[in-house]
């Protein structure tokens, strides 16, 4: 059936008039675009469950395998390494060949990686499993934001996508923590694998094939990096992505270990992260309803300033209550910045080049998220944890000052067509 809402018919008629294409063909494409968005939302939920499920398991994995602080940080770092490797190539492949098969591969890797995690022998096995999951994560978060923000949806698309991932984070830690308390971290990993398995046939059935004759921009990854130099908006978005890598990587290592030191069990840690995910969902949905006039780097800078201040709280008062308050506020800030930053980055270029540009943003995130868990893993004892929180807060404050500085009255950069031509050369 065609979409039943009357404005679909009106819009298709208008597009048909100005493009000399059949309004029936346009209606089919609009239906395909709407279905594609729902597929992306379902994948974001499943990926969020798989990604977050390991958070309450980290102390148990550390104790079971006898890991050092640096080895514990590697569990997060290896996932990021996969994003680092995949970021730009996946964006280019999606631009060049369409998103259907990359999304199918992404869906299949999720349960496969979690089964491998459950059966892992020693640290190398856990790292190999997390590397596999990282490839799935990387594929989704290159293609997902670019397609969600397309069709003039902007933050109205990236906001719900980030919120869908938040639903996964609401389920994953609570489920895996409860199962781990009752059984073991290996059983918890297997249960989460079963939960994400249905996404594979769903994506295979509904992920839309590339349309015959569909235009694909030929922007090369090298030209995408050139955009960072030429386009101040993209340069600012890359800086913000790098900061998100710092705060995300550090938070996912420091907070579970700090709460474990305060005497919380795996189930309680999972519950804490699960509850804060409700904040993530609410914040992401709120971003989707913001006026376009506030979807810019200056608006992001204001949120980053709040994020910087909350990172200083555990440094000044390292108690369980302070950590929980930190989780709530920082989660809201990260969700808001995530959704806004993707929307700003995608809006600053032509729509067809968006997957490659999102790949560059994710590359910046991955580089910093690769380093920060290792550095955070070195923090042993309350004094070192306090220093780690303080340093991260100061880094966020520096980024906020750059974004809010007088030079950052950013304009959308020049048309990207010239860059695209450079990429083809």
Q: In this structure, what CATH number is given to the domain that contains residue 246?
A: 1.20.1250.20
The tokens of 163 are what?
């919120």
pTM, two decimals, is 0.67
284: in domain: yes
Cβ-contact 323, 259 below 8 angstroms: yes
Backbone angles phi, psi at 101, to 5 degrees: -70, -35
Task: Note down the domain range covering 105.
Answer: 22-424
234: in domain: yes
- pLDDT tens digits along 392-406: 899 999 999 988 876
Q: Is the pLDDT of residue 414 over 60?
A: no
Q: Is the pLDDT of residue 147 over 80?
A: no
325: in domain: yes
Task: Of 110-114, 369-373, 379-383, 412-416, give the range with the top mean pLDDT.
Answer: 110-114
Cβ-contact 117, 189 below 8 angstroms: yes
Cβ-contact 190, 114 below 8 angstroms: yes
Query: Among 61-70, 155-164, 196-205, which is the least confidently predicted range?
Result: 155-164
15: in domain: no
Cβ neighbours for 240, distance < 8 A, ≥ 6 positions apart = 297, 300, 304, 337, 341, 399, 403
The tokens of 164 are what?
């869908």
345: in domain: yes
Q: What average pLDDT does the segment 341-346 reach? A: 77
- pLDDT tens digits along 223-255: 667 767 777 888 888 899 899 988 887 887 788
16: in domain: no
User: What is the tally of structural domains in the chain?
Assistant: 1
- pLDDT tens digits along 155-199: 566 677 877 888 888 899 889 999 999 999 999 999 999 999 999
278: in domain: yes
Distance CA 174, CA 269 (A): 8
11: in domain: no
pLDDT at 107: 94
């Amino acid at each position: 059936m065609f979409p039943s809402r009357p404005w679909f018919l009106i819009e298709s008629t208008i597009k048909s008039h100005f493009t000399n294409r059949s309004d029936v063909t346009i209606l089919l494409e609009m239906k395909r675009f709407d279905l594609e968005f729902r597929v992306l939302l379902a994948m974001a939920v499943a990926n969020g469950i798989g990604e977050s499920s390991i958070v309450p398991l980290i102390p148990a994995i550390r104790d079971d395998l006898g890991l050092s602080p640096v080895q514990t940080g590697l569990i997060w770092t290896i996932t990021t390494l996969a994003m680092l490797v995949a970021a730009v190539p996946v964006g280019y492949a999606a631009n060049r060949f369409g998103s259907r098969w990359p999304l199918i591969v992404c869906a299949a890797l999720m349960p496969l990686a979690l089964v491998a995690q459950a059966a892992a022998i020693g640290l190398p096995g856990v790292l190999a499993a997390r590397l596999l999951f990282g490839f799935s994560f990387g594929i989704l978060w290159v293609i997902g934001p670019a397609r969600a923000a397309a069709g003039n949806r902007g933050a109205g698309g990236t906001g719900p996508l980030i919120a869908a991932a938040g639903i996964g984070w609401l389920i994953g830690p609570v489920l895996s923590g409860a199962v781990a308390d009752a059984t073991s971290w290996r059983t918890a990993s297997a249960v989460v694998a079963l939960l994400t398995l249905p996404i594979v046939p769903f994506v295979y059935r509904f992920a839309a094939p590339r349309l015959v004759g569909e235009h694909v921009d030929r922007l090369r990854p090298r030209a995408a990096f050139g955009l960072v130099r030429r386009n101040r908006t993209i340069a600012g978005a890359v800086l913000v992505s790098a900061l998100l890598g710092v705060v995300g990587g550090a938070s996912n290592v420091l907070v579970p270990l700090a709460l474990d030191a305060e005497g919380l069990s795996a189930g309680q840690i999972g519950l804490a992260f699960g509850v804060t995910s409700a904040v993530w969902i609410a914040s992401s949905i709120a971003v989707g309803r913001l006026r376009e006039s506030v979807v810019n780097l200056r608006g992001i800078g204001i949120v980053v300033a709040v994020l910087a201040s909350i990172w200083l709280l555990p440094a000044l008062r390292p108690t369980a209550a302070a950590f929980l308050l930190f989780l709530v506020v920082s989660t809201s800030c990260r969700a808001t910045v995530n959704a806004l930053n993707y929307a700003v980055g995608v809006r600053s270029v032509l729509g067809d080049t968006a997957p490659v540009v999102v790949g560059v943003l994710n590359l910046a995130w991955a580089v910093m998220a690769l380093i920060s868990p290792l550095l955070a893993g070195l923090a042993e004892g309350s004094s070192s944890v306090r220093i780690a929180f303080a340093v991260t807060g100061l880094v966020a404050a520096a980024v906020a000052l750059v974004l809010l500085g007088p030079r950052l009255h950013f304009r959308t950069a020049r048309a990207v067509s010239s860059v695209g031509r450079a990429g083809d050369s």
